[in-house]
Structure formats: C-alpha cells, structure tokens
Amino acid sequence: MFAVGACAVILDAAGRVLLCHRRDMDVWNLPGGALEAGELPTEAAVRETIEETGLDVAVDRLIGVYGKTRKNELVFAFLCRIVGGQLRETDEADSLRFFDPDHLPRHISPKQVERIQDAMHGGSRPVFRKQSQPETRELVRQWQDEAR
C-alpha cells in the first residue's frame, strides 16, 4: 500500500519559487503533504498550500509523479498560481520566502530541488521519476552533525 502526497510549486512574477521553512525542523520545502481520505492530489495541493502559507492557489498543470524508493510513497507535484489569500506564517511554517531556483537555501531536500527543476525545465509533459535520496529527517540529522 502506498502513501500519497501532493505538493505545489508556486512561482512569483520574477520566476522565484515559494518555499516554507518548517517549524518542526530546520528545513525548507514546497507546500504540500499527505492526501486526506477521498481527496484528489490536486485538492490536497490546494489545501496544503492554504494551511502552510495562507495563499489560495489554482492548479495549472501536473509537473510529475515521484516514487520514493526508501518508502512506499507517491508524491504528485503541481505547478500552481496564486489566486487569493495572503502570505503569512502558519502553525506549520515559521518563514515563507520566494527563492531564485538557481540559489535555493542550503537546508532543502534534494527531492524538493529535483521537483523544482522539473517545474522549471521539464516542459509541458509530466515526468515520472523515482527518488532515492535520503529522507528529510535523515538529512536534518546530517546537517546537525556537520554543524557540530
């Protein structure tokens, strides 16, 4: 049985991507999370974006479907545009910023970077990709060990 998640890639007028800094760990990520019962991946991307950023978005297209090889999980990534709301800190994100895709923050998972690159350079057709990079919690432990 697979867990299913969805995330949103949101670009501003300058082509910068919105990232959320998580409250529970020192990592930046795209808005997103697990699907709720009966929810479509597109609906989850919209809901999670509201919960994590305060922004209302509309889904423009599917960027890709990503299979995590280290656990039974599929993640749908969508290119989304802002249609309302106001960017604000939330219970899940203590900072929200737009970053140049070529100058992303250090504490971001390679899986997230790959999804952003696919959004920027993948063309109009969705990609289907296995992702074997370490899980986020493993990366955070590595970063903490390196900082000591």
For 33-49, what is the HEC assignment? EECCCCCCHHHHHHHHH
Q: Pull the structure tokens for residue 96.
A: 């929200």
Q: What is the pLDDT of residue 72?
A: 87
The SS3 of residue 109 is coil
CATH of the domain at 106: 3.90.79.10
Q: What is the pLDDT of residue 69?
A: 83
For the chain, which ranges sit under pLDDT 50?
none
The secondary structure of 54-72 as a DSSP string is SEEEEEEEEEEEEEETTTT
**Domain range enclosing 79:** 3-147
Q: What is the pLDDT of residue 122?
A: 74
Q: What is the pLDDT of residue 141?
A: 82
Count of the separate structural domains present in the chain: 1
Q: Tokens 């997103």 correspond to what residue? A: 32
Q: What is the pLDDT of residue 68?
A: 87
Decide: pTM greater than 0.85: yes
Q: What is the pLDDT of residue 89?
A: 94
Length of the chain as a residue count: 148
